[in-house]
Each structure stands twice: as structure tokens, then as C-alpha cells.
Amino acid sequence: MVAIMTGMRTDSPTTRQPVRQLLAASVGNAVEWYDWYAYTFLATYIADQVFPESADDSLVPLLSTFAVFAVGFFMRPVGGLLMGAVADRRGRRAALTVTILLMGGSSLLVGLTPTYAAAGVLAPVVLVVARLLQGLSVGGEFAASTTFLVESAGPGRRGLFSSFQYVSTTAGQLVASGIATVLVDTLSEDRMNGWGWRVPFVLGAVLSLVGFWIRQGAQETRSAEQRRAPRPGLFEALRRHPRESLLIGGITAGGTLAYYTWTSYLPTYAELNTGLDKSDALLAGTLSLAFFGLLQPLGGMLSDRFGRRPLLLFFGVGFALLTVPLLHSLRDSFAVLLLVQCAGMILLTGFTSISAAVNAEIFPPRVRAAGIGFPYSLTVALFGGTAPYVGTLFKDLGHSGLFPWYVAVVCLLSSLVYLRLPETAHKELER
């Protein structure tokens, strides 16, 4: 009766359709990250229209700083906690539905944001609200989709299913980059400033509806026993599982710092420190991202066979030993940058391809989504989100050579956590 009233399918894990489950998580996740990265790629156009330098209102530069640099990452831990709680209380599918609708709504809001010339200070306020919703959605998406992916996997396939977290993230990033590039190359500067920058966000809202439709056909992964159990409190995971929460932070710190350094900041780092042409740096970044996406399922399958810990140590020790020589080897050369990026992507796959599985295997099902969502998103905000700023700060202080050491040390510290991590690849997932 409960299942009929909620519209929830109650099929056992063995009867689920794995392709449909993968598609439901992956398509939605790709749309989420498409919207997130579209803002990043088009931030300069948005700033010109919403935060003009000629604005007289003193709130405008403050809101500009807040919106561009802080809001999204600030809200991600909140989203991880709140949407994780929805996933643990109402079901994984319910949380996935909420996150994609939030992202679609916030994307449309960005696309319809008035210019400062038309609405004054209301324009940056609207954009800040949209970024708040985007951050909330992205933080919640990881908590819900991580849990959903791993719980959807059959025996011996959790690593493989886990890898699609970053396959879809990378796909969303590449599509956003491609659409932004096509618009910039085909439209005049006046058209880009007038309406061109809005197109990807309106498209993102439409894609969110497609993802919503696909997710409506997904099957709930919580067991019948979990659905009958009393609903967990908002902070129950932190209160009852403090060690596991800290463990998520230790596992994630090195991985998220390396990820944002290699996938987002490295082209800028090469420009700042070697004088490499911006277009060459961006092309190298795009090619290495495509290579990175293709590697993820291989990493997941290897972890299912040989265990999670060997891959995590491959990543952590590899970055601890090779970050400094790799970054110091950069020259004013497209080929060198591409090789450095691809080498890092191979190492990074040891973390990204299985992080969803590792996280899900740490917490019991009752608080799994919220238990993952908050500490993971908080660690990403502290280490991953700050990577470009720390690197730029070292450059401004005249010590750019210290940034590779910073990355190496954090990865070494995470490696110490991996050494003591129990092997969970071949154990049955608690449901």
C-alpha cells in the first residue's frame, strides 16, 4: 500500500534494470554539472551584464565577489546535508528528483537574470539566489547519486557503477565547454553580451526536464526494511558516526585537491607560469578531460577485481611523488602540457573512479546519503574549491613553486588514510 501511495517501485535489487539505473543517475548528474560548468565558462559575460564596473551602487562589487567566488561552494555542504537527509528519509529517487528540478530551476533563473542596466541591484541579487540554488543542488546530487549508483550495482560491480559518477561529470563539463565555445566562435561580441550567454542556461533547464523524466522511471534502492524504519534525524550521521565522517574527509582531501588542480586549474597554471597560449592550454585541457572520462570504467572494474585500497594508494602515492616533477616539467609547449595532464589523469583515476563506492561502503544504509553528503561536500569546498585561489596566491606572493608541494603533501596525508582503510570491495553491501 505504501509503495502504491508513493509511486515507488519495490523491486528487489536482483530484478532492477542496471542500464536504466545507470542512465537515471548518469544523465541527471551530467545535466547538473553541465549547468555548473556553463556558469564557470561564461562568467566573464555574466559579470559584464550583471556586475558592470560602472555601477554606482556599492553593493554591486560585494555581490560580485560573493556570487562568483563563494556562494556555490558555500552551499554545497548544506546541499549534501539536506538532500542527503531527503535521500535517507524519503528515498534515493525522491532526492534525485529534487536535485535535478532545483538545478533546472536555478539554470533557468540564471538565463532570465535581468541586466544591471535594466533592474539595478536586483540583477546581482537574482544571480546570487540562482547560484545558491545551484550549489545546493550540486552538493545534494553527489550525496543522492553516489548512494543510488552503488546500491543499484549487482555483486562485484559496485566499482564499475561508481565510475559513472565521474564519467557523467566529465561529460557535462565537456558539453558545457563545447556549447560555450561554439557560441563564442559564431556570435559577435554584442550578441554574446546581449543574449548569447543566456542560451546555455535555458538549454540546461530543458535538459533538466529530460533528466527528470528519465529519473521518474528509476527504481528505489532502499530496502523494504529501511523504508519501514523510523526516519533518521538531520544530524544523526554526524552524531552517531563521527569517525566515519572524518574518514570521508581524509579520503577526499587529496582527491578533490588533485581533481580541481588537474581538471580546472592546470591550464591557468600553465599560462601563469610558462606563458603558454590560452587557446592551446584550453585545448589540452579539453583533450585530457575526454581521455579522463574514458578511463573511469576501467578503474572501477580494476577495483572490483583487486580491491579499492590498491587503486587509492596508486593515486595518493603517485601524486605525492610525481606532482612536483610533473608541474615543474611544464614548458611553453602544447605537447608537454597535454602529456602532463594525461599522466595526472591516469593517476587521478585511482581516486575518482571508485570514490563513490568507497564512500558508500563506509556508512550503514540508514544514514548513507547524508553521511556521505555533508563531510564530502565540506572537504571539496575546503580543498577542491580553493585550489585555484591557493595556486594564484602562491604566484602573487612570488612562490609559485610551493603550490605543487602543497598538492603533494595533502595527497600524502590522504595516502596515510588509505593505508589504514579496511578493504570493502569484496564484502556484501549492507542494505
Question: What's the count of helices (H) and strands (E) in the chain, helices before strands?
Answer: 22, 0
Residue 281 lies in a domain: yes
pLDDT digits (tens, 9 = 90+) for 286-338: 899 999 999 999 999 999 999 999 999 999 999 999 999 999 999 889 999 99
Same domain, 181 and 249: no
Split at pLDDT 50, 70, 90, the class of 275 is: confident
C-alpha to C-alpha distance for 407 and 396, rounded to whole angstroms: 18
More confident residue, 65 or 232: 232
Domains held by the chain: number: 2
Looking up residue 87, the CATH number of its domain turns out to be 1.20.1250.20
The amino acid that residue 243 corresponds to is R
More confident residue, 228 or 138: 138
Same domain, 244 and 110: no
On whether the CB atoms of residues 103 and 215 are closer than 8 A, the answer is: no
Same domain, 200 and 251: no
Same domain, 128 and 213: yes
Same domain, 261 and 391: yes
pLDDT digits (tens, 9 = 90+) for 145-166: 989 999 998 888 999 999 999 9
Same domain, 243 and 282: yes
Same domain, 178 and 305: no
Residue 9 lies in a domain: no
pLDDT digits (tens, 9 = 90+) for 35-44: 888 887 787 7
Q: Angle between the 387-396 and 242-260 helix axes, to the nearest 10 degrees?
A: 60
Same domain, 299 and 407: yes
pLDDT for 70 equals: 61
**Structural domain span for residue 61:** 18-217
Grid cell 565555445 — which residue? 181
End-to-end CA distance of the chain: 22
